[in-house]
Structure formats: C-alpha cells, structure tokens
Structure 1
Amino acid sequence: MPDALLVPETPDNDAQPFTRREIAQQPVTLRETQALLSANKAAIEAFVGPLLARPDLRVILTGAGTSAFIGECLAPWLSRELGRTVEAIATTDIVSGPTLHLRREAPTLLVSFGRSGSSPESIAAADLVDAHVDEAFHLVITCNAEGALGQRSGENIHVVVLPEATHDRGFAMTSSFSAMMLAALSILGGIDRLVPRIEAIAAAVQGVISSVEPLIADLAGRGFKRVVYLGSGPFKGLAREAALKLMELSDGALVTAFDTALGFRHGPKTIINAETLAVVFVSNDPLTRLYDLDIAQELRSDGRSGAVVVISAQPRDNAQVVIADMAGAVDADLLFPFIVPAQLFGLHVSLALGLAPDRPNASGTVNRVVQGVRIHAPGA
C-alpha cells in the first residue's frame, strides 16, 4: 500500500482522526447496538409489538441524506418480512410536500433516523405527521441523546439512543449509518431473531476491514473521474449511500451515480468510459444474483470501463471482494459488510486528493449537521 495512503493511528493527526476510526469501530458498535437492544427488549417490544399487530398500520422509515438511505435499504426487506408495505420516505420529501405523503385516516408509525437528531427537517417531519395523521406514533432511533429527536417524549413516542460511539464526529456518516440500520432491522424484524446473526455480521465486517485495504488503496490511486455503484433490492439503497459517501469525502471531485442492475442499461450506462469505476453488489437471492452477475459480466465484456469491482458473498462469483462465511446469509445481513469497501474507498480518495476526510468541504457550504434550512408552514 502506498505510504501516502496510509492512515496514521495517532489521535493528533489533524487530517482525519475520526473518520478512519469510525469505519474501523463498526464490528464493536454493531455488537454494542444489538446488546443495547437486547437489554431494553421489554420496553421496545411493549411499544412496537402492539403497533405491528395492527393490520391497518402504515410504517414509514424516514431521515435525510444517509439517514434516509437506511430506509431505502430496509424498506423492501422489511415489507416482505412483516407482510405489510414498509415505505421509505425522506424527511425532506415529507416537509416539502406533506399532503403528498401523509394520510390522515391511516394510523402511522414514523421511524425516524438521526445521527445528531437535530436536523431541521427531522423535527419538522415528526411535527407534520402529528398534525396530518389522526393516529401517529414515533419510533426514534438516534445516536445523540441530547439532540432534538432524542429529547422527544410522550405516550406515542419511543426513543432508542444508540451507544455514544455511534455518534460519528467525522463529516460523513459511517458507524452511525450501520448502527441505526442494525437497530431498525432488529427492532422491526425481531430482536431475538437477530441475536444469533449479530456475531456473523460483525465478524464479516471485521474481515472486510482487515483484508480489503490493499485493493482500495490501489483503486484510489488510479485517478478515476466517475464511479457508479449498482445493486438490486436492498442494495439499491446501499448503492445510493455508497455514491453519496464518495461524493461527500471527495468534496464533489468525482462524479458518482447509482442504479439497479437492470435499470442501469436504460440510459444511465452512458456514464461508463475509461475513467469510470463500476462497483456491483451481488445479492444472495438466487434469482436476483443472476441479474447482478449479468451486468457485471456485460461491463467486463464491453471493455469500456476503467475497472469493474464485484462485491459478493459467494466465492464462485469471480469477485474482487468476497465476504467470508456469509454465503448463506440473507441480503439484509450483507448490507453491513458490503458498505465497508465503499466507506474505505471514499476515505482513501479523500486522502489522495489532499483533503481532510473529517471536513472535506473546506468552503463550509456543506456541514455535518445541515444548516440554512427554513421550515415553512403548510399553506403559508
């Protein structure tokens, strides 16, 4: 690995003391998150259980930016697991058009994700749900007990504050993303059901962190100008998060895109040229994976891209990144190890560009907690 891309461990390194450590701590924070949920299982299930037992309950997963993409990853999976429609609707969409997204007669559980829990849209979205829905309930999953979401209370509200270490101090959300996603998967999918899977998930994340860096460092040094992430089902949302992570940490220097394996051919494939890196997340679902492998093979056969990287849990897939011991895992569990290469790639590209990953946007026009948002009253 080139010395210029090594990340010093010293805490007084001003360039990136937090981002690297927050990526690396995910095996620990995932285990701690599940332990916290298990310890508070009775209270959590006393709130959520009766709601999920209602056939008329509408479930909305919400947040802004990376927090919204948690919902996009989990909504299709949870819809199947719960036998009901689970929707991912960003707070930014709810706030700008509440009458398009909220139904007064539909009892609604709003699951709010927030690293800081203080984004203006997060607070406004919760208030709008209360105002526009006759029976509104709130499950708050946050990394910050002191944030506005973390401070909410009431009979229709349950707040889950994750371990303090998940409150990422770096600009880009990494361990906060994976911890909040795990919390929602566990709470809505069954805390006891996730307990026997958490060790395999955490071990897989650690395995990627320990093994993938030489590949990532090489890719970051190749000077790609465009990067596209492709994924199907739950991995469409993950592809969107991966694209955002690179955009954030490169301060917009690289053009990033995301799509599904099948959707990519319908126009977006024009992004491919000799300066494009294409990354394909391969599903473990027997049908879905065939489409993922088809697009990976097509991109390789076309010979137009700068590189094609396949991330898979199946050793037979000719993948550059193979997630060890997860060949039999469900796709929801693969979300956690699959995102690590994208997080590390963003970090290494940031360093290669001479940026400070903890604050890559030196102009200050983009902030860790969003600023400049004016909340307008509906009908004003």
Structure 2
Amino acid sequence: MYTYNEIMNQAEKLEKTKEIVQAQTFNDAEVDITLFTGCGTSFYLAIAAARYYQSATGEIAVAVPASELFLHKDTHILANKKYNLIGISRSGTTSEIIMALEHLKGDTNIQSMAVTCNGNTPMANAADEVIALDHISEKSVVMTQSFSNMLYALQLYAAKKSNRSDLMNQLEEIPALVKVALENGEPLKQVTEDKNKTRFIFLGSGAYNGLAKEATLKLKEMTQTECESYSNLEFRHGPISIVDNETVIILFTQKETQNFDQALIKDIQKLGGFVVVIGVASEQLEADVIIKLSDNLDDLNRLVEVVPYFQLLAYQRAIFKGFDPDKPRNLTQVVNLS
C-alpha cells in the first residue's frame, strides 16, 4: 500500500530534508510579521510551524488559511507592516495558494516563500524563495511524509533564521527518533482494533494544537470516523459533555502542560473515556495507555517525532474497519477550485 510505505519510510526522507535545508541560504530582510498559510493539512502544518517559528525567533508569526488572503485580505494584511508570506503546498498547484500569491503579488510590503514537494510548479514560480523537497513524491491521496517533511523543513528554517545552534542540534536528532517511533505503534491497537470505540478526540495545546487538528483530519480521511480536536484545557468548556465509554481521547502532553493534563485525564476517565497519552510523561502521570517519548529534546523540537503515532493510528483503524487508505472517500490528491 502506498500510504503504509510512505508512513514507514519517513525517517530516511527526513534525513534528506535536513541536508537540503541546511545547505540553503535565505533572505535575511527584516519583516514585522511572518505569515504561514496553506489549505487543509498544509494549514494545520502552518499552525504548528507559526507557533514554532515565533518561539524560535522571537518574531511575530501567525497562520491563516490561504483562501482568507484573497477573500478577506484587509483583515490579515496591514499596509504599514512588512510581511514574509510562507505558502505551503505538497503539490505546488493548490488553487487557493496560487490565488493568494497572485492576489498579493505587487504589494511592496510582502515577500514570499514557497514550501513544497514539487519545485517546478506555478506556486514555486510565483514566490521569491523556495524550499523544494522534490525527494518527497507521494502516490497516496492523504498527506503523510509530506506533512512531516515540510514541517521539519520549516523548523530547520526557523533554527537557521534565529542562528540558534541549540535548536539545530536538537532538530538533527529527529530522523533517528522518528525511526524509533515508527517501530512503536503496537500499543495503539488497544483502541484502533476495538469495535466499541467509536468516537476519537485529539487534544494538543500550543504548537501541538496544529498536530491535533492534523491527527483528526488523518482519521477522518482514512476512516470517516467521528472525531474532533481541541486545545487541552478548552476541552473542559463544553466538549467534555460528549465523553462516554465509546470515546477515545488522544492527548499530546508536554512538560509545561502535565500538571494540568493529569486532572483532565481523571475527569475524562470518570465519564467513561479511554485516554491515550503521547509525550514526555512523568512517572506520576496516569492514563489508560501511555506512549512515553524520550526526554532528550524540548517539546517544541520533537513535533515531528509525534507525527508517526497519529498517522499509524489512522492507518491501523482504516485496516481494522476494512477501508483502503489509498482510496479515501470523496477525495483527490490535489484540490482545485472549479
């Protein structure tokens, strides 16, 4: 299966991505705001990348769906601010990305960069700079290794822009850690192969909120499962009302959220929910399943290490339910507006 193979060979692809980005030089012109944009998976990637970039560089970074930039330009672009617009698209042919770049073309306060897995495309040609990951050539409809590699590329880009060797040193460990993660998906079968689990909810805060949204999309695309995503503590404010004994909560924990996560886990379990925790869990943290990650990276630098787990979860669930992950319902590899 294309989808399975593209999930499982991510580690070697990440090594190549690292080489490509580390060898590049980038525009060092000062801007006021770095604006990350994309559609679907690429927008969720933009959310995580923007929050990482702001933390790494100390500069303002935001994420906006590509369509918003031509539908509601004035609510996102200020004439008296300078922008670096970073457009993200696996194919480089996504309609809304190209429309956004064309709509903003000629604005002297905007410079642009394309991040794509196809460097010979209209999107790449329309941007001032390009990170082209041409070694990523997915045959599957759903984005898997393209997501992890473009996110990794943008983290490496942020580390280079900030001139922070501490970040770069940690990011260099990611391919090896992803290889380990890809071999550690067995515990997920406790929920992916349980017919009594029908509702899945992903919780992640900060940059991990982008991962939670992407995890939800992967499960929807591959299995049409009812699923949602929230920021960890926001889940308490209404959505927790749907928890029952058919509900699985996948919680991405971080060092700075753990003290709050434990209380949230207990509240969910009292209502019958089954909780899977993924992250650097302390010995005191209790849940139904804990996938404990190593403690040698900061949480922000390990974003890509987490990705294989929710991709494997979606794949395992699809196989269990008899779906073909290579042929998701109602979807095509590239979305073009008619």
Normalising by structure 2, we get a TM-score of 0.92
Aligned partners of 1:23 and 1:343 also within 8 Å: yes
Q: Which residue is equivalent to 2:207? A: 234
Q: Which residue is equivalent to 2:333? A: 368
Trace 1:13-28 onto structure 2 (pairs within 5 A): 17-28=1-12
Using the TM superposition, give the Cα deviation of residue 294 of structure 1 relative to its aligned residue in structure 2, in angstroms. Answer: 2.5
Q: Which residue is equivalent to 1:220? A: 192
Equivalent residue letter for 2:105: D
Trace 1:239-318 onto structure 2 (pairs within 5 A): 239-250=212-223, 252=224, 254-285=225-256, 288-300=257-269, 302-305=270-273, 307-314=274-281, 316=283, 317-318=285-286
Out of 78, 87, 95, the position equivalent to 2:62 is: 87
Q: Which deviates more from structure 2 when the two are superposed, residues 238-247 or residues 139-148?
A: 139-148
Q: CA RMSD in A?
A: 1.9
- Asked whether 1:150 is paired with 2:117, we answer no
Distance 1:148 1:313 in 2: 41
Using the TM superposition, give the Cα deviation of residue 199 of structure 1 relative to its aligned residue in structure 2, in angstroms. Answer: 4.3
Aligned partners of 1:281 and 1:311 also within 8 Å: yes
Q: Which residue is equivalent to 1:136? A: 110
What percentage of aligned pairs have identical amino acids?
24
Aligned partners of 2:202 and 2:230 also within 8 Å: yes
Secondary structure in structure 2 of the residue aligned to 1:232: coil
Number of aligned residue pairs: 332
Aligned partners of 1:323 and 1:337 also within 8 Å: no
Distance 1:21 1:197 in 2: 26
Aligned partners of 2:87 and 2:97 also within 8 Å: yes
Using the TM superposition, give the Cα deviation of residue 180 of structure 1 relative to its aligned residue in structure 2, in angstroms. Answer: 0.6
Out of 13, 16, 21, the position equivalent to 1:37 is: 21
Distance 2:133 2:114 in 1: 10
- Asked whether 1:196 is paired with 2:166, we answer no
Distance 1:129 1:331 in 2: 35
Equivalent residue letter for 1:309: V
Using the TM superposition, give the Cα deviation of residue 324 of structure 1 relative to its aligned residue in structure 2, in angstroms. Answer: 4.0
Q: Which residue is equivalent to 1:3? A: none
Gaps of 5+ in 1: 1-16, 375-380
- Asked whether 1:69 is paired with 2:34, we answer no
Measured against aligned partners, the alpha-carbon deviations of 1:174-214 in whole angstroms (never above 9, x if no partner) come to: 111111111111112227735422442222211121122x2
Out of 179, 189, 198, the position equivalent to 2:149 is: 179
Using the TM superposition, give the Cα deviation of residue 147 of structure 1 relative to its aligned residue in structure 2, in angstroms. Answer: 2.7
Normalising by structure 1, we get a TM-score of 0.82
Using the TM superposition, give the Cα deviation of residue 315 of structure 1 relative to its aligned residue in structure 2, in angstroms. Answer: 5.1
Gaps of 5+ in 2: none
Using the TM superposition, give the Cα deviation of residue 355 of structure 1 relative to its aligned residue in structure 2, in angstroms. Answer: 1.6
Secondary structure in structure 2 of the residue aligned to 1:240: helix
- Asked whether 1:208 is paired with 2:181, we answer yes
